[in-house]
Amino acid sequence: MLAIAVKEQQYKTYILSDLSSQSELEVVPERGGIITRWRIQGQEILYLDAERFADPNLSVRGGIPILFPICGNLPDNTYTHKEKQYTLKQHGFARDLPWEVANQVTQDQVSITLVLESDDVTRKVYPFDFKLSFTYQIRGNTLQIRQCYTNLSDEQMSFSTGLHPYFYTFDKTQLQFRIPATEYQDQRNKTIHPFTGSFDFDTDEIDVAFRDVRSPFASVTDTSRNLRLSLSYDEAYSTLVFWTVKGKDYYCLEPWSAPRNALNTGENLIHVEPEATFETLVSLTASFF
């Protein structure tokens, strides 16, 4: 049975369920179009800081926030377009703005489509007219996130995009990584290090970027939970970011289309012509063993 229920609480929450696979997804459109929960066979896949989530003045730490029109931060939070300087905070604005529900499907599949459109607020920090459409679909143990970026401006629109999933874990030392890269850049000091397949979790914070990934597939196996999470993404994504903080029950493996500061450097930016639409797809699959 496929179903979508609505729960009225602090934020209206849409609950997608696939009873045959005991899979359930919770989505909160007005809180940045975020996925807050993904549960399979009673197991929580995602982490959520409920206290931060309840405070609209704080960015959400947990679930799967949307990154647009930048990933990461900019020097002094500024970039230049046509000789004019704009201020844009870390990860952009899509994760902070309310999205609208555009469609719900419960026949043959269960999915919900959310839309975010430009307005006077977004134009002050990003001078383009756009329409974003995200479709969240669960099928069995797989979550698909289909994305459409439509340029409604009369000039080429440039941006980067990404997802920031927080995966729940209670023992990071039991994590095993399969990442298609041989080295990473430490995002704090920009140093390059070889990747041997593991991290030092005694470090207070790990924030690294795998650049120019060689394959559209990565996975993390959590042997403490007998759980493998597989991440697949299309050619739009050039970078994988791994981030975690000591003492917190989460790790993040984030597909980004471009590295930090791309709006200034131009590196791996996505360019969409007027009236055109750019589409991407990210899939997550949870496997228990």
Summarize the confidence of residues 146-158 as an average pLDDT. 98
Q: State the DSSP code for 120.
A: H
| Chain segment 242-284, per-residue pLDDT in tens | 999 999 999 999 999 999 999 999 999 999 999 999 999 999 9
The secondary structure of 21-83 as a DSSP string is: TTEEEEEETTTTSEEEEEEETTEE-B-B-HHHHH-TTS---BSB-EEBS-SS--GGGEEEETT
- In this prediction the pTM is 0.97
- At the topology level of CATH, where does 2-288 sit? Beta-galactosidase; Chain A, domain 5 (2.70.98)
SS3 of residue 281 by DSSP: strand
Q: Percent of the chain scored above 90 by pLDDT? A: 97
Q: Which amino acid is at 93?
A: F
User: Could you give the CA distance from residue 50 to residue 22 in angstroms, rounded to a whole number?
Assistant: 23
pLDDT at 214 over 90: no
| Chain segment 116-136, per-residue pLDDT in tens | 999 999 999 999 999 999 999
User: Could you give the CA distance from residue 150 to residue 90 in angstroms, rounded to a whole number?
Assistant: 22
All structural domains of the chain with their residue ranges = 2-288
- 275 contacts 154 by C-beta, under 8 angstroms: no
User: Could you give the CA distance from residue 117 to residue 260 in angstroms, rounded to a whole number?
Assistant: 24
pLDDT at 212 over 90: no
| Chain segment 162-189, per-residue pLDDT in tens | 999 999 999 999 999 999 999 999 998 9
